[in-house]
Structure 1
Amino acid sequence: MASQSQVGILLLAAGKGERFIAAGGEGNKLLAMYPNANGDQVPLLAFSLSQAVASGLPVRLVTRPSETAVIALAEQFGAEVTLIDSQGSSETIAAGVRDSAEWAGWLIAPADMGWLHSSDYLQVAAALTSDDAQARLMFEEVPGHPVGFGKGYYAVLSQLQGDKGARALLQNSKLQRLSGHIGVIKDADLPAH
């Protein structure tokens, strides 16, 4: 159980993977197999979950009720799970935030970004020093993930709708842009070859 003072990680896994399927991928892209450091084939989601959990921060994965394999993998890694038949990333974020209202802030990342490191989450978490803080990792001026929001954003995050995510909440005057590696912008919209 997360303490009152902890920022947590919200992994978004309720999308339909339409770009992945359109590019020739089969099934749920989060379950697509990729080689790990030992050369073993593991599901993409295992990369994302292992790094999120390794941060030591609370982790909550938001997915669809029908995604039983995704749910089982999240539970295997000890992540909390929120279920929603989401119509878009904003709804997905809102559901996860409502289910983690006790957190001191949220680090939001799509679950297909398996190249994020535990240190990336900790770097953004450390930047959330006030309730109205915002932070995100960047790579060569390209906005990346995770995107962090302090506790003061609970009301607006928990009511998001549509498919724009939380982008509209980012304010140039408040957003801390942190330098990251190429993995902070890499996702799996295209099948591995």
Structure 2
Amino acid sequence: MKTPGIIILAAGLGTRYKQAGGRGNKLLALQQNQQSLLALTLQQAQTSGLPLLLVTRPEYDTILDLADRRHIPAIAVASNGSGESIAAAVQHTRNWSGWLIQPGDMAWVTTQDHQRVARALADGAQQVRLCWQEQPGHPVGFAASYGEALSRLTGDNGARALLDPMILQKISAHAGVIVDADLPETTNRS
């Protein structure tokens, strides 16, 4: 049976993080439990039981090693933005019945969050987004019918342009679905 899978985006340059004084790759910033931000994100996604693909940059050896140690498939893309990363991942996973897209710096998205979005797609939703107090969050889910459009994305706007408010199913969730680590003070919240 075909199932939706999770794309974790880890090919960004962390520009906002570095401009705000952060050092190194924010995805590798250690949390209070001594795991990296990305390791926590991957752990939640992997525990969901859904297929998983990590998209990172060719020069991010430590991230590629982390994926290898956790037996998580990964592709390396010299991406110019999240749109290109999503396109490469969708092209690599054409056999999936849908895609849950999530940035790698959102370690507060839970296994249950992934499962809720996947279940909504399996139940026939075409687009799904978790929200907290009407603020858009992640992951964002797209049905298989969006495969071609997702595989043609470019730039750094991700899949926002494909979202249609008339068919987007919003699911209320917790505050963790909107928290990312663009600022140094948010990388140590566990």
Same fold (TM over 0.5): yes
Task: Report the counterpart of residue 143 of structure 2 in structure 1.
Answer: 150
- Gaps of at least 5 residues in structure 2 are none
Superposed CA offset, 1:45-75 (max 9, x none): 1100000000000110000000000011112
Residue 49 (str. 1) matches residue 22 (str. 2): no
**How much does 1:132 deviate?**
6.5
Runs of 4+ with >2 A deviation: 129-132
TM value normalised by structure 2:
0.95
Task: Report the counterpart of residue 71 of structure 2 in structure 1.
Answer: 78
Residue 26 (str. 1) matches residue 20 (str. 2): no
Task: Report the counterpart of residue 154 of structure 2 in structure 1.
Answer: 161
Superposed CA offset, 1:140-185 (max 9, x none): 0000000000000010000101111000111111100001101000
**How much does 1:130 deviate?**
6.3
Number of positions where the alignment pairs a residue of Structure 1 with one of Structure 2 = 186
Letter in 2 for 1:88: G
Q: Does the CA contact (< 8 Å) of 1:132 and 1:151 recur in 2?
A: no
Letter in 2 for 1:13: A
Residue 89 (str. 1) matches residue 82 (str. 2): yes
- Gaps of at least 5 residues in structure 1 are none
Q: Does the CA contact (< 8 Å) of 1:139 and 1:180 recur in 2?
A: yes
Selected match of 1:140 from 106, 109, 133: 133
Identity %: 50
Superposed CA offset, 1:71-112 (max 9, x none): 111122221101100001100100011111110100000000
